[in-house]
Structure 1
Amino acid sequence: MVRNTRKRRTPLATKAIAASAALALGGGGLIWANFYASAHESNNSGQNQTKAAAGQVATIACPDVQQKLTNVPDRARQGVATELANLDKQITEAYARLASTRQAQAGDANFVQNAIVGPLKDKRNATLDRIRIDIQRVGGQVDASGLTALAACTTQNANQNNAGGGQNNNGGQNNNNGGQNNGGQQQGNGQAGAGQNIGGQAGNGPVAADFVDITKVSANVQGKPQNGGQASTGTFTTNCGVNANKIFNTDNVIVAPGVTNGAHHTHDYVGNQKINAFSDNGNFLQGGTSCQNKNDLSAYYWPVLRLQDGTQEFDQNKDGGGKEGNVGKILTAQQAEIKYVGNPTSKVVAMPQFLRIITGDAKTTTNGLANANAHWSCTGFENKVQLTEQYPICPQGSKVVRTFAFQSCWDGQNIDSANHRTHVAFADPASGACGNGFKAIPQLTMRLVYDVPTPTIENGQVKNPYAVDGFPEQLHKAATDHDDFISVTTGGLANKIANCLNGGQRCQ
């Protein structure tokens, strides 16, 4: 693999990560408060967990090659990105074969290894070799043996934990996924899921264990750091709508530029109106915007939330949609609140034009929780409970809330990095300071509020569940929630945002 001198968090690391949530206080409007909650929150609900037969294979787990490639030369990045997208496609195809051959698996203990995992390794080896060639062709250095070691994939049984799960969090309580199975004994609610035993309308989740009654979860939201004398205490709000005009695609121009269906799941888009796999810095400025502030051409996009109620959506028979296990009624957020906040220890510098940031990890089911940054809650509970590994079941009159707080420290040089992570970082959870010579930038926070019919759990099965879109092999777990952002501004807006925060003002 490519050499990396920066230490990377391991899947078993339990680290507090920065987050932000909005607190709804009666009819008095919204007050935003930063808090620093563990990404691995605990669950004391006592909810019974569904169990599955010990030998049931639920999904395929492959090393995430992209996370290992931290120093890809610029001239090789497009070719490498294309090959990384090929790796994702290969996993998707292997998972589809896994899901469609349950009968053969039951009759042959070696079927999965011989017919699915073995051939997948061969395909990955060839793709990894092309990545090596792409990098070496432009003078880059590659640990060829290390790269080859990433070819082999494994399977996860239905009663396995999420990769990296099971550790204690900072509070010393058991991680809520420590005893949770990945699949459950639930039958799919029809369509392709019938008889596949891993739940959901399309047979790839979620399951009953992926939901929790939020009223039975202990408070886990930690206080925010104290503001110092140099704190940037202002806020800047941008109103960009809720994607009421239904701009969707299954691309991801950050991680898979030039690759149609590179995300393998559908995104909502607000802000820039022309973002797809073929957009680039040369045409972002021609995209137009859904934001009220027409100088905000930034792209804000996240995986859609679906109600798995049997609805046949427009993409039921399309790549990234029903063909890849993303099914049900797409729910439009009732509110999509986008706000930039400051830093408790220092002034912020303006975001550079075309800065890309991805927060969270779409592959936590197989990667583990090291990069998880999902936060789920309910209105009325946001200042008490934030969930990462389960979807909340909200009480009557309360709505589902997804909250994102992006990395707020920047290396001062790069608008992206080979693995799309190392050019930005989270602030220290205790102090809020940026480390390693990184500079504080405005922290992008987002709050999405949904009116979701309450799921019910009967006999160990969840009826009419909701879930975020994702890669099919990730089983629609709550922890896979993520958010993407490209900073594109005109008229000096980036400087105006920074000056607003540094001046302690409330701007929009």
Structure 2
Amino acid sequence: MRSLPRSGMIVLVSVAVFGAAACRSAGVETSPGAPAASSPGRPAMGSQSAPGAGPSTASSLAPASGQVRPTRTFGGPPPHAQYQEVAANCTVTHRLNDDPIVFPGLAGASHNHTFVGNPSTSAGSTNASLLGGRSSCQDPKDASGYWFPTLLQHGVPVETGMVTVYYKADVKDYRTVLPFPAGFRLLAGDMRTPDAAAFRGTWSCGGDLANDIAASCPDGSSLIVRYQAPSCWNGADLDPPDHRSHMVYPVQGVCPAGHPVPLPMLELKVPYKLPGGKTDGLAYSSGPSYSFHFDFMNGWDPERQRRVIEHCVNGGRQCNGVGVDKHKP
């Protein structure tokens, strides 16, 4: 299990400051070569500060990466913002029977996965090996690996369209969302989901949302599955043995006490091209439609991710995959 030593889990600081200086002052060792980051008050992406910026109090969580993660509180509710998100388009890079989170180092040990993001992702990948790599997503600084089971039709892989990876706020106060810490990993969903009624994702193909694949789709439409990951972190574990228990869903827009740190809510939108709209013979490499799940291994450049989250999510914007909202610069 990759986690923070309990002796250094929570550190109280008088001022919420990012970077190596804050780590040293709090008695936390910084990662070698970690870039110094600015204070939360610094305007992100060369624009205005996030609405309502200026937290009244702050406590810090120091994950295993050595980065200080302030939990910010504000004196009032956040300004209204219809969107608080980044939507990044990512092309499929490869398919492998690998899963570097569930079966690390064991090539060919898993069911078949479809990969987007870092094209080097394989059974031997680690967060460190992904950093600085290439990406099939729009932001070249996002070298993360994202993968999900391969959809088959009569045993043949179905063509996957452009995958959209969303980074959103799933808590009421979007200003409090923090970037994913270095070394973070996540498995969202469960291939052992018992039936469609228990599936937390949605399916659509030109009509209403449903929890299972429709009997048929309109000719020319795409079959789309969406799945949202939990976004409240326990502040300690980067990748627990079950790859899930460090994260839970918010309760009425607030992170619960045992998982108090709001991180971006990852949502995957995966479209499939079905000739003639025929849905017969569809199944995932992991099982039925409701066995869909996805994995995330953080390979972001830390400073770049911080700026994108501050500007787009904390700033109440609807950003594209390179962190730009043309209607709210």
TM-score range, shorter chain: 0.5 to 0.7
Match of 1:376 in 2: 203
Do the aligned partners of residues 426 and 464 (structure 1) sit closer, same or farther apart at CA in structure 2, a change above 3 Å counting? Answer: same
| 1:307–1:290 distance in 2 versus 1, CA, 3 Å | same
Quote the residue 1:364 is aligned against: 193
CA distance in 1, matches of 2:206, 2:231: 25
Q: What per-residue deviation string (whole Å, max 9, x for no partner) do you get for residues 419-441 of structure 1?
A: 1111011122xx22211242111
Match of 2:141, SS?
coil
Distance 1:370 1:334 in 2: 26
Residue 255 of structure 2 is matched in structure 1 by 434
1:469 alignment partner in structure 2: 285
Pick from 203, 221, 225 the counterpart of residue 402 of structure 1: 225
Partner of 1:101: none
Residue number among 80, 88, 92 corresponding to 1:238 in the alignment: 88
Q: What amino acid is the match of 1:495?
A: R
Which of residues 149, 154, 165 is equivalent to 1:338?
Answer: 165
With the length of structure 1 as denominator, give the TM-score of the two structures: 0.44
**1:329-361: per-residue Cα shift (whole Å, max 9, x none)?**
x12222311111113422211111221111111
CA distance in 2, matches of 1:370, 1:419: 23
CA contact (8 A) 1:400 1:450 kept: yes
Amino acid at match of 2:143: L
1:261 aligns with 2:108: yes
Q: Residue type matched to 1:484 in 2? A: D
C-alpha displacement of 1:370 = 10
* Bigger Rg, which one: 1
Deviation, structure 1 residue 371:
7.6
User: Which whole-Å CA distance do the structure 2 matches of 1:370 and 1:396 have between them?
Assistant: 27
Q: Does 1:299 align with 2:148?
A: no
- The answer to whether the Cα contact below 8 Å between 1:234 and 1:501 also exists between their aligned partners in 2 is yes
Whether the aligned pair in 1 keeps the contact of 2:182 and 2:302 (CA below 8 Å) is no
SS in 2 for 1:269: strand
Letter in 2 for 1:413: A
In the superposition, relative to structure 1, how do residues 440 and 380 fare at CA in structure 2: closer, same or farther (>3 Å)?
A: same
Equivalent positions of 1:73-472 (< 5 A) are: 229-230=77-78, 233-241=83-91, 243=92, 245=93, 247-263=94-110, 265-308=111-154, 327-328=155-156, 330-346=157-173, 347-365=176-194, 372-381=199-208, 385-388=209-212, 390=213, 392-428=215-251, 431-438=252-259, 439-453=261-275, 464-470=280-286
Deviation (angstroms), 1:397: 4.2
CA distance in 1, matches of 2:203, 2:270: 10
Question: Aligned partner of 2:291: which letter?
Answer: T
Output the aligned Cα RMSD.
2.6
Q: Is this contact kept in 1: 2:119–2:135, CA < 8 A?
A: yes
Is the aligned partner of 1:482 residue 2:293? Answer: yes
Q: Which amino acid aligns with 2:127?
A: N
Provide the rounded CA distance (Å) in 2 between the counterparts of 1:270 and 1:415. 21
Identify the residue that residue 63 of structure 1 maps to in structure 2.
Answer: none
Please identify runs of 4+ aligned residues in structure 1 that moved more than 6 A: 368-371
Percent identical among aligned pairs is 28
CA distance in 2, matches of 1:377, 1:393: 11
Q: Secondary structure at the match of 1:301?
A: strand
Change beyond 3 A, Cα 1:369–1:396: closer
Q: Which segments of 5 or more consecutive residues in structure 1 lack a partner in the other structure?
A: 1-227, 309-326, 457-462, 471-475
CA displacement at 1:400 relative to structure 2? 0.8
How many residues are matched?
A: 240
For 1:455 and 1:466, the matched residues in 2 are separated by: 12
Q: Secondary structure at the match of 2:128?
A: coil
Which letter maps to 2:211? L
Specify the code of the residue in structure 2 equivalent to 1:249. L
CA–CA distance in 2 between the matches of 1:376 and 1:369? 10
Q: Structure 1: how far apart are the matches of 2:276 and 2:292?
A: 19
Matches of 1:371 and 1:409, distance apart in 2? 21
Contact 2:201–2:227 (8 Å) recurs in 1: yes
8 Å CA contact retained: 1:374, 1:478: no
Q: CA deviation at 1:410?
A: 0.8
Higher strand share: 2
Please tell me whether the aligned partners of residues 115 and 148 of structure 2 are also in contact (alpha carbons under 8 angstroms). yes
Aligned 8 A contact 1:230 1:344 in 2 = no
Q: 1:497 to 1:413 in 2, by over 3 A?
A: farther
Alpha-carbon distance change, 454 to 419 in structure 1, aligned in 2, over 3 angstroms: same
Q: Give the Cα separation in 1 of the matches to 2:198 and 2:235.
A: 21
Question: Which residue in the other structure is 1:506 paired with?
Answer: 318
Residue aligned with 1:283, SS: helix
**Structure 1 or 2: larger helix share?**
1
Q: Which runs of 5+ in 2 are unaligned?
A: 1-75, 324-329
